[in-house]
Amino acid sequence: MNAIQRAWAVAHLLAPVGFLLGCSPEPPKAEFTVDEYLANPAAMNARLKECANNPGDFRDDPDCANVKAAAERQGIGSLRDLPPLGLVPSEESDRAERSASNPESHSPQ
């Protein structure tokens, strides 16, 4: 088989592959954005239940990704709205802790 015959054979094999790749369906688009789900809690809850009930079928669904992100954002909210975590003790609690650990400091002299 010469070079021209090989080129034609390869072209005949690759043509159907190129045709199939060119005709592949467009990836699915999400019906709602995260902000739209946040604005419509009833739609968000309904879609969230649907996605949670069948994760195998909806694993790659863009709407399920958006509704999960909306639910996470709604659950956390803004970090500015969170109460103080109390990681740094106040002066009063620090004083109470020191007096509890050192009982001699309060004994009468």
Is 36 a member of any domain?
A: yes
- Residue written as tokens 């043509």? 15
Is 62 a member of any domain?
A: yes
Is 4 a member of any domain?
A: no
* Tens digit of each residue's pLDDT (9 = 90 or more) over 26-47: 777 889 999 999 999 999 999 9
Is 15 a member of any domain?
A: no
Is 7 a member of any domain?
A: no
- Parent domain of 67: 27-77
Instruction: Give the CA diameter of the chain.
Output: 112
Q: Measured in Å, how far apart are the chain's first and last C-alpha atoms?
A: 112
- Report the 10 Å Cβ neighbour count for 43: 15
Q: In total, how many domains does the chain have?
A: 1
Is 67 a member of any domain?
A: yes
Is 98 a member of any domain?
A: no
Is 95 a member of any domain?
A: no
d(CA 41, CA 94) in angstroms, rounded, equals 44
Long-range (24+ apart) CB contacts under 8 A made by 100-109 are: none
- Residue written as tokens 């809690």? 41
* Tens digit of each residue's pLDDT (9 = 90 or more) over 69-90: 999 888 866 666 667 777 766 6
